[in-house]
Chain A
Amino acid sequence: MSAAALLIDLGSTYTKVRAVDLENPRILGAGQGPSTVTTDVTVGLAKALADLERGMGGRREFTYRLASSSAAGGLRMVTVGLVRELTAAAARQAALGAGARLVGTFAYKLTAADVARIADLAPDIVLLAGGTDGGNEDVIVHNAARLAACSVTCPVVVAGNRQAADEAASRLDAGGSPVTVTENVMPEFGVLDIEPTRAAIRQIFIDRIVHAKGIDRAAEMLDRVLMPTPAAVLDGARLLADGCGGRPGLGSLLVVDVGGATTDVHSVAKGGPTRTEVVYRGLPEPYLKRTVEGDLGMRHNARSIVQAAGREALADDAGLAPERIEALARLASEDVGRLPRSAEERAFDKALARAAVGLAVKRHAGTLETVHTATGPVTVQYGKDLSAVETILGTGGALVHGAQPAAILETALADDADPLSLRPRTPRMLLDRDYILFACGLLGEVEPDAALTLGLAHMHPVAYGTENGCNPAA
């Protein structure tokens, strides 16, 4: 029997496991159990493993047993920076890239009310940035002192002005918070350096958060809990896009993950201007960018999707009466485990997913703006230009279990009616039908070559327009 790996996602609703052959990388089996992290993580994991064994016809040994987790609220983080569009934005990018769920973002000097709010939020980790190297020192030190003086004692990552980092760290240390000092998220004006912060957050996750959330009760059933699940998905996306060891990957990639509570978008692309006459403005965006749309979720946030997309537009797209939209959205948000039971519910779910994907990718992608100057019009770009992205990959229940993934994914594409939004023009479309992307990210930590083969083998092509995707009314 060839060597195999077990990859585990300790999710907020389900515990999912995938068994993977390492010599001829492919899926050997899959299993699912409930999420029981809030009580005893081992119960749900045992059920998922039993399910896997039933499918594979017996128990087997695994060379690796690696897990990621988004259970127990995910990795809840608060970020603090100085200027909202500068170090505060860089801190947000770093935390999102580490797979965190941002529960609060703050800028400038923290007030007493801000600090009380942070204490209420009870984050797992606080990321404290502020000032370029050699730049502003007093705000990060002030904020460290504020945090030290309140009841917040969670780990803090200090990633600000290096001249002030030690002072900030000693204030926090005096207040009882475990402190990690790492590189500044913005060492120079307009330069992002978020990888060291991502690594620091991940290390704290492994060293402390896994224990704090009770996930380490499963220590005997697995080898290591490596990272939050969104970080595994992002790492999987990077591996699939970039390849490894000289083997090419898919090239520039956009991943859309439509979930029950949020829609996540990951891009692996440089995203600079594709036309020479375009001027880039604003903070440069990371090659590996993750955004989380907290108001776009198929169940918990079905009603806010309706609000964002507009009731009439959604009704039009679903071919339903506007009055029905509200009733169906209520049904979805009150029964979050609900699977569509009728043609009407399926049409509603499809329209909801189309709206979520369209809005989430539009918010993730950059935009163009024409500025009229004395010497004529100039085109200015904000954010990432994703128009030349080669592949879009869909994942998440609504896409995978929905009947018409092409019709949903196509809303991520560039639209001639909205030419200033820099979304992909003609990418190939793939579907993570076997929910294997997180597993690629985890396996990539130990066997990147096998992980790449696995990912490339299991992403299923989706053809354009075959499922009346182009015409919402059809």
Chain B
Amino acid sequence: MGADNTSAERRRTLVTGVIGSDTHIVGNRILGMALEKAGYTVVALGALTPSDEFIKAAVETAADAIMVSSLYGQGELDCRDFRNLCIEAGLEDILLYVGGNLVVGKQPWAEVEQRYRDMGFDRAFPPGTRTDAVIAALEDDFRAPAAGGHKAGR
């Protein structure tokens, strides 16, 4: 997006929020605070955020990544077309993370993760992920931007 993303001065911008009809905001807030402390600019959309609002916010702020939280088990429905919506909005290469209770019931994590990667998310995180792990993943992905798996998913 932005003409100037290569500038070393520019702080990376991350859009965060809880997708769909989901009011569970606490984990998302904790993550947001940790990300800010790690030096990122966080655009926090909060609870009950429709998918198009993530994308509109990312366009306006030229965000480097969108981090979607889903805690109520309906994430599969809410996130299904997320990458496609990004592509429509000109954000083909934006980094997409998703995390939380991503499915209903107990299912093997490897399968869940693969499902979300197939939807175009670069990374999916299971419940109980530490904020340090997310920040480490961001650092890796920003260092090697081609690492995203979403291209394989399409």
What's the minimum C-beta distance from A65 to chain B, rounded to whole angstroms? 45
Please tell me which stretch of A356-364, A370-378, A438-446 contacts chain B, meaning at least 4 of its Cβ atoms lie within 8 angstroms of it.
A370-378
State whether B41 touches A82 (Cβ < 8 A): no
Chain A interface size, under 10 / 10 to 19 / 20 to 34 / 35 or more:
20 to 34
A376 nearest CB neighbor, chain B only:
B23
State whether A374 touches B74 (Cβ < 8 A): yes
The 8 Å CB contact of A131, one of B21, B41, B43, B62, is B62
Chain A 178-194: CB-based contact to B (< 8 A → 1; otherwise 0): 00000000101110000
Q: How far is the CA of A187 from the CA of B117 in the complex (A)?
A: 34
The 8 Å CB contact of A374, one of B59, B61, B73, is B73
State whether B21 touches A373 (Cβ < 8 A): yes
A90 nearest CB neighbor, chain B only:
B60
B39 sits at the interface (CB 8 A)? no
Please tell me which stretch of B2-10, B119-127, B132-140 contacts chain A, meaning at least 4 of its Cβ atoms lie within 8 angstroms of it.
B2-10
State whether B21 touches A87 (Cβ < 8 A): no
B47 nearest CB neighbor, chain A only:
A279
A-facing residues in B54-111 (Cβ within 8 Å): 56-57, 59-63, 72-74
Chain B interface size, under 10 / 10 to 19 / 20 to 34 / 35 or more:
20 to 34
List B contacts of A138 (CB < 8 A).
1-3
B112 sits at the interface (CB 8 A)? no
State whether A373 touches B2 (Cβ < 8 A): no
A132 with B48: in contact, given A137-B4, A374-B21 (CB under 8 Å)? no
A135 with B13: in contact, given A87-B60, A189-B61, A373-B23 (CB under 8 Å)? yes
State whether A378 touches B23 (Cβ < 8 A): yes
Q: How far is the CA of A137 from the CA of B21 in the complex (A)?
A: 32
List B contacts of A190 (CB < 8 A).
43
A40 sits at the interface (CB 8 A)? no
List B contacts of A378 (CB < 8 A).
21, 23, 48
B-facing residues in A80-132 (Cβ within 8 Å): 82-83, 85-87, 131-132
The 8 Å CB contact of B1, one of A83, A134, A136, is A136
What's the minimum C-beta distance from B105 to chain A, rounded to whole angstroms? 14
State whether B3 touches A141 (Cβ < 8 A): yes
B41 nearest CB neighbor, chain A only:
A134
State whether A189 touches B57 (Cβ < 8 A): yes
Q: How far is the CA of A141 from the CA of B2 in the complex (A)?
A: 11
Q: How far is the CA of A131 from the CA of B43 in the complex (A)?
A: 13
State whether B48 touches A134 (Cβ < 8 A): no
Q: How far is the CA of A371 from the CA of B49 in the complex (A)?
A: 11
A-facing residues in B4-46 (Cβ within 8 Å): 4, 10-11, 13, 21-23, 41, 43, 46
State whether A83 touches B56 (Cβ < 8 A): yes
List A contacts of B2 (CB < 8 A).
135-138
State whether A371 touches B60 (Cβ < 8 A): no
A132 with B72: in contact, given A137-B4, A378-B48 (CB under 8 Å)? no
List 7 A-B pairs, minimum CB-CB distance, nearest first: A135-B61, A374-B72, A136-B62, A189-B43, A373-B21, A135-B62, A83-B56
**14 A-B pairs whose Cβ atoms sit less than 8 Å apart in the complex:** A82-B59, A83-B60, A135-B61, A136-B59, A136-B62, A137-B2, A163-B4, A189-B43, A189-B57, A189-B61, A371-B21, A371-B48, A373-B23, A375-B72
18 new A-B contacts at CB < 8 Å, known A83-B56, A135-B63: A131-B61, A132-B60, A132-B61, A136-B59, A136-B61, A136-B62, A137-B2, A137-B4, A138-B2, A189-B57, A189-B60, A190-B43, A371-B21, A371-B48, A372-B21, A373-B72, A374-B22, A375-B23
Interface residues of B (CB under 8 A from A): 1-4, 10-11, 13, 21-23, 41, 43, 46-48, 56-57, 59-63, 72-74
